[in-house]
Amino acid sequence: MSETVRAGLFQTGWTGDKESMIQAHEKAAHEAAAQGTQVLCFQELFYGPYFCDVQDTKFFAYAEAVPQGPAVQRFCALARELGMVIVLPVYEEERPGFLYNTAAVIDADGTYLGKYRKNHIPQIEGFWEKFYFRPGNLGFPVFDTAVGKVGVYICYDRHFPEGWRSLALGGAELVFNPSATHPGRSRHLWDLEQPAAAAANMYYVGAVNRTGTEGPNGFYGTSYFADPRGAYVGERASGDQSELLVRDLDLGLVREVRSEWQFFRDRRPSAYAAITAP
C-alpha cells in the first residue's frame, strides 16, 4: 500500500431538494475520481438541509435505514464504480423513533464497512439536535479501508477530546469531521480545535463544512485537512462557494510523528478517572 493517499472533501450548499443534492454529490465524486482521489468525505447530513435550526417532525422523513436505505446503496454502487472510499454522512432511522446522525463508511470495492453515530448531541439555539437524534451507541470505530485506517467524528463531537483520543488509540490514521457549522460562538474554534486534535493524536484530520444560507443561518465552508503536526495541508477551501478540495496526505508522517512524540507511551490512564466520572 502506498503511503501517499489522495483525499477529498466536498463542501456545498442546499440545492432545494434531496434528489438534486444527491446528484450534486455524485457529480463531485466523479470529479474527484478524475483527479485521482482515493477517499472522499461529504458534509454532515449530506443529502438534506441542515434542519436543526427548527424543531419540526416533518424532517423525520429524511431519515433512511443504514445500510439498507437507497442513499447508502446508491453510493456503495458509486464507490465500486469509481474505486473510491466514501464517507457518507446521513440521517439514519434504525426503527421508528430511533433516529441517529450517522456516517456510513464504504470501501473502494463498494463494500459497506460500518457506521459511526454522532455521540455528542447539542441542544442550543440554532442547533436543536436532541429533537432529531439519539446519542450514538456504537463507540468510536476505526475502519480498515483500502487507503488505511479511517475514523469519523461529526460536527459538535469535535469539542470533546475524548473521542479524538479514542480514535487514535483505535489506530486511526485519518479522521474525518463532517460538519454543518454557521458563524457564531464556534467560528474561532473551527480554526483551532481540529488542527489541535490532529497534533495531539498524531493523525490527519479532514474537516468539511457546509456553505450557503439555509433559513436564518449561513455556513462558512473553509474545509481543510490538518496534518499530524497540526499544520494545514495546502490552502483551505472557499468560505462561501461549493468546492471540491483534494490533497495528498503522506501517511508515513503519522508513524514519523508518533515516533517523535511518544504521546501514547507517556499517557497515564490510571490518573484520568475524573474524566469518566458522571
41 catalytic? Reply is no
- Rounded-to-5 percentages of helix, strand, coil across the chain: 30, 30, 40
- The dihedral built from the CA positions of residue 212, 217, 220 and 226, taken in this order, carries a sign that is negative
The reply to whether 27 belongs to the active site is no
List 41, 118, 129, 243, catalytic entry: 118
Give the cell for residue 233.
Answer: 495541508
Kindly report the backbone phi and psi dihedral angles of residue 152, in degrees, each rounded to the nearest multiple of 5, phi listed first: -135, 140
149 is catalytic: no
| DSSP class per residue in 122-182 | -EETTEEGGGT-PPP-S---EEEETTEEEEE--GGGGG-HHHHHHHHHTT-SEEEEE----
Contacts (Cβ under 8 Å, ≥6 apart) of 71: 22, 47, 64, 88, 90
Q: Grid coordinates 479501508 are at which residue?
A: 145
Q: Out of 115, 155, 193, 243, which one is annotated catalytic? A: 155
Buried b (16+ CB within 10 A) or exposed e, 57-81: eebeebbbebbebebbbebbebbee
Q: Find out whether 26 and 78 touch, Cβ atoms under 8 Å.
A: yes
Residues tagged active-site: 44, 118, 155
